A and B are shown apart, each in its own frame.
Chain A
């Protein structure tokens, strides 16, 4: 009878799972002279491309570090775990990393949503967490254990507002992706721009996953702004730029640093020319460390690194540096946290990073870029 076979199979499956579970939790062998860092990021799912960039850059930084033998007689290892961009997974991974006594610090996650969910765990289990991209204003306020090395919108918003105003823009329309980053970016920009005396003709949020922006652009066209400010990522940006060209909309376009990505030009083609944006990381910067990083990344991964890769590279190096300062192989979680908090003028490919002693917010410097003839070019106006 079928219910018996169902039962038997159920029992078999349960037995296998129990054995697997016991096997997994029992296995914890770690070499003595290996220090571990946990890295959580989305390696599958819709944000997988960013997680993979992080993994690439982090591995690069790790290999350089281990080969330099800065830690005499010890090696550092990174444990990567896939959070799928899902807060549920992020929390589970946070517990997993916290339980592993050999992990002295964690880097991750990609989005603020997942980073914050995981942060709640790290705040209680006392593990330092450095996010390379979480920009939600509440993130570092959760506990003294949270850090981030990405520019916050509280700085970028006014920076961009000033730039637009200086270029004669008095009426602007804003398009932002409806997630925590997009909302923060839009709000900060609008506050800064209006307090300088400019007018925001309309602010248009769109749900993540939207591919057709024509309705939004037509609505904006009707309000006749001088410029459009984009708080979104490069894929949405490419669609906006192309559709804007198709609709014959002539307003100038500015973008935040999140839009900086070589593939934007591949996707948008000639429609991308003229876009102005800010960035902390410029691929053709003459700085020596940037050139070395770009060359190394290109030779290993056959692609140009983006700002996200640069952020991960710097975050990994900051964490590694903190481990060395905290005692290397003898580093404790407390020690790593303390060392991270004392990071000052750390040289990175995204500029120097300093963590404010009180708020732990990073201070970074933005530069101006524009796309001309299919290339990102540094500009002054």
Chain B
């Protein structure tokens, strides 16, 4: 009965973990922004996509070593974060008090504005680059196979694992051991209290967007090079998975989001072993609904808050 527990099963686990890591990379930045600002940033997928495109452009124009490409992408992520906050979110923050910032009207307005921006950016990219996948110079692809016994790994998977860990650690360090992180946590925790203590809410919000967008842009560039797929629509599907992972993990918990993302990836992969891939999509969403039924606030969700 357990004859499926063979080397192929382990390979599927690895496939699943790798896929989950891809979702997790995007989920980290997404969760940061939501956790602090209570806004769903639909445009995060486009930041991810633009990170990949900018990385590709840099490769095509200058062909520098990979580290330099990533650095440029970090800078671009920074600029995108600032721009996004200014265009899609700041115009709607007409008042800076807590009730307004956590109100439904703001949530819905920013949801729609970030959605409109994401459509606009996607269409613009598509008009300029076309909807097809962009060709990437072979030597930049993170696709070298690595064989460990009978298992097959790819260099890109290890890079993503490494970078994911790095991002997570850097983020935890920033949040818990720097002033900026402190203000972010303060604003996330209690906005009026933070204002009273003298924290500049506006700047903190910008910082949150910047950090989240840098993470998003770098994820996009790396995943693009690992999968070899860079195209205008690439941010949409992972964006949905990241959103799902975030909610499943408990809205403001970054470790929760990462774990949920991994669970999603592994469940998809293992399910494909038994049913067709089409149905395995259903497994991950079914898992999501099941989780929410048992844990109405997500796996690591905190107690509910009152506005």
Decide whether A and B assemble into one complex. Answer: yes
Residues in A lying within 8 Å of B, measured CB to CB: 44-49, 52, 178, 204-207, 209-212, 214-216, 218-219, 221-222, 235, 238-239, 242, 245-248, 263, 266-270
Q: Is the CB of A216 within 8 A of B272?
A: yes
Q: Which of B16, B133, B277 contacts A238 (CB 8 A)?
A: B133
- Whether A45 contacts B131 by the Cβ 8 Å rule is yes
Contact B130 A48 (CB under 8 A): yes
CB-CB < 8 A to B12: which residues of A? 215, 218-219
**What's the least CB distance linking B157 to chain A, in Å?**
9
Q: Give CA–CA (A270, B139) in the complex, Å.
A: 12
Q: Which of A44, A205, A235, A245 contacts B132 (CB 8 A)?
A: A235
Residues of A with C-beta under 8 A to B269: 214-215
The CA of A249 and the CA of B141, in the complex, are separated in Å by 19
Residues of A within 8 A of B229 (CB): 211, 235, 239
Is B227 a contact partner of A239 (Cβ separation < 8 A)? yes
CA distance A23 to B19 in the complex (A): 52
A248 to B123, CA, bound (A): 38
Task: Contact check, B228 vs A239: say whether CB atoms are below 8 A apart.
Answer: yes
What residues of chain B lie closer than 8 Å to A222, measured between beta carbons?
6, 8
A7 to B237, CA, bound (A): 38
Does A269 contact B8, Cβ atoms closer than 8 Å?
Answer: no
Q: How close is A176's CB to chain B, nearest CB, in angstroms?
A: 10
| Contacts A44-B131, A215-B272, A239-B227 known; 7 new A-B pairs at CB < 8 A | A47-B131, A178-B278, A212-B22, A219-B272, A235-B132, A246-B152, A269-B138
In the complex, what's the smallest C-beta–C-beta distance from A228 to chain B, in angstroms? 14
Cβ-neighbour of A212 out of B6, B19, B133, B147 (below 8 A): B19
Is B281 a contact partner of A235 (Cβ separation < 8 A)? no
Task: Name the residue on A nearest B276 (C-beta).
Answer: A205
Q: Are A212 and B15 within 8 A (Cβ)?
A: yes
Asked if residues A263 and B135 are in contact (CB atoms below 8 Å), the reply is yes
Given contacts A46-B233, A215-B268, A218-B11, contact A248 B147 (CB under 8 A): yes
Q: B189 near A: Cβ within 8 Å?
A: no
**25 residue pairs A–B, Cβ–Cβ below 8 Å:** A44-B126, A44-B127, A46-B233, A48-B126, A48-B131, A206-B277, A211-B229, A212-B15, A212-B19, A212-B22, A214-B19, A215-B15, A215-B268, A215-B280, A218-B8, A218-B11, A219-B8, A221-B8, A239-B227, A239-B228, A242-B228, A246-B145, A248-B152, A267-B135, A268-B228
- Would you call B143 an interface residue if the criterion is a C-beta within 8 Å of the partner chain's C-beta atoms? yes
CA distance A266 to B273 in the complex (A): 31
Nearest neighbor of B123 in chain A, beta-carbon distance: A44
Q: Is the CB of A248 within 8 A of B145?
A: yes
- CB of A215 within 8 A of CB of B273, answer yes
Contacting pair A46 B131 (CB below 8 A):
yes
A44-B126, A216-B272, A246-B152 given as contacts; is B131 within 8 A of A49 (CB)? Answer: yes
Q: Is B154 an interface residue (CB 8 A)?
A: yes
Q: How many A-B residue pairs have CB under 8 A?
A: 97
Residues of chain B touching chain A, judged by Cβ–Cβ distance below 8 Å, are 6, 8, 11-12, 15-16, 18-19, 22, 123, 126-127, 130-133, 135-136, 138, 141, 143, 145, 147, 152, 154, 227-229, 231, 233, 237, 268-269, 272-273, 276-278, 280-281
Q: How far is the CA of A268 from the CA of B15 in the complex (A)?
A: 20
Specify which chain B residues have a CB less than 8 angstroms from the CB of A46 in the assembled complex: 131, 233
Q: How far is the CA of A216 from the CA of B273 in the complex (A)?
A: 8
CA distance A246 to B151 in the complex (A): 11
The chain A residue with its CB closest to the CB of B138 is: A269
Q: Which 4 pairs, one residue from A and one from B, show the smallest C-beta to C-beta distance?
A: A215-B272, A48-B131, A266-B135, A214-B15
* A209 CA / B281 CA spacing, docked (Å): 11
User: Contact between B11 and A52 (Cβ–Cβ < 8 Å)?
Assistant: no
Q: A212-B15, A215-B268, A269-B138 are in contact. Are A238 and B228 (CB under 8 A)?
A: yes
Q: How far is it, in angstroms, between the C-alpha of A219 and the C-alpha of B272 when the chains are bound?
A: 8
Report chain A residues within 8 Å CB of B8: 218-219, 221-222
The minimal Cβ–Cβ distance linking A186 to chain B, given in whole angstroms, is: 11
Q: In the assembled complex, how far is the CB of residue A119 from the closest CB belonging to chain B, in whole angstroms?
A: 25
Contact of A204 among B15, B152, B228, B277 (CB under 8 A): B277
Q: How far is the CA of A235 from the CA of B231 in the complex (A)?
A: 10
CA distance A270 to B143 in the complex (A): 12
Contact of A210 among B16, B141, B154, B277 (CB under 8 A): B277
Taking a contact as CB atoms closer than 8 A, the residue among A52, A204, A209, A270 that contacts B276 in the complex is: A204
Taking the nearest CB of chain B, how far is it from the CB of A27, in angstroms? 26
User: Which residue on chain B has the smallest CB distance to residue A213?
Assistant: B277
Q: How far does the alpha carbon of A210 sit from the alpha carbon of B22 in the complex, in Å? A: 13
Distance (Å) between the CB of A111 and the closest chain B CB?
A: 14
CB neighbours (8 Å) of B6 from chain A are: 222
The verdict on A207 contacting B133 (CB below 8 Å), with A215-B272, A246-B152 known, is no
Given contacts A49-B132, A222-B8, A267-B135, contact A216 B154 (CB under 8 A): no
- Expressed in whole angstroms, the Cα–Cα distance for A148 and B192 within the complex equals 66
Q: Closest chain A residue to B134 by CB distance?
A: A267
Most buried by A among B123, B227, B278, B281: B278
Among A239, A269, A270, max chain B CB count under 10 A is at: A269
List of B residues within 8 angstroms of A266 by Cβ: 135
Given A222-B8, A248-B147, is A215 in contact with B277 using a C-beta cutoff of 8 Å? Answer: yes
> How many Å lie between the Cα of A247 and that of B269 in the bound state?
15
Chain B residues with CB under 8 A of A178: 278
Which chain A residues border B273 with CB–CB below 8 Å?
215, 218-219
Name the CB-closest residue of A to B270: A215
Q: Shortest CB–CB separation between residue B46 and chain A, in angstroms? A: 15
Residue of B nearest to A51 (CB): B131
Complex: how many Å from CA A54 to CA B183? 55
- Nearest opposing residue in chain B for A247, CB measure: B152
Chain B residues, CB < 8 A from A216: 272, 277
Shortest CB-to-CB span from A14 to chain B, Å, is: 21
Contacts of B280 in A (CB 8 A): 215
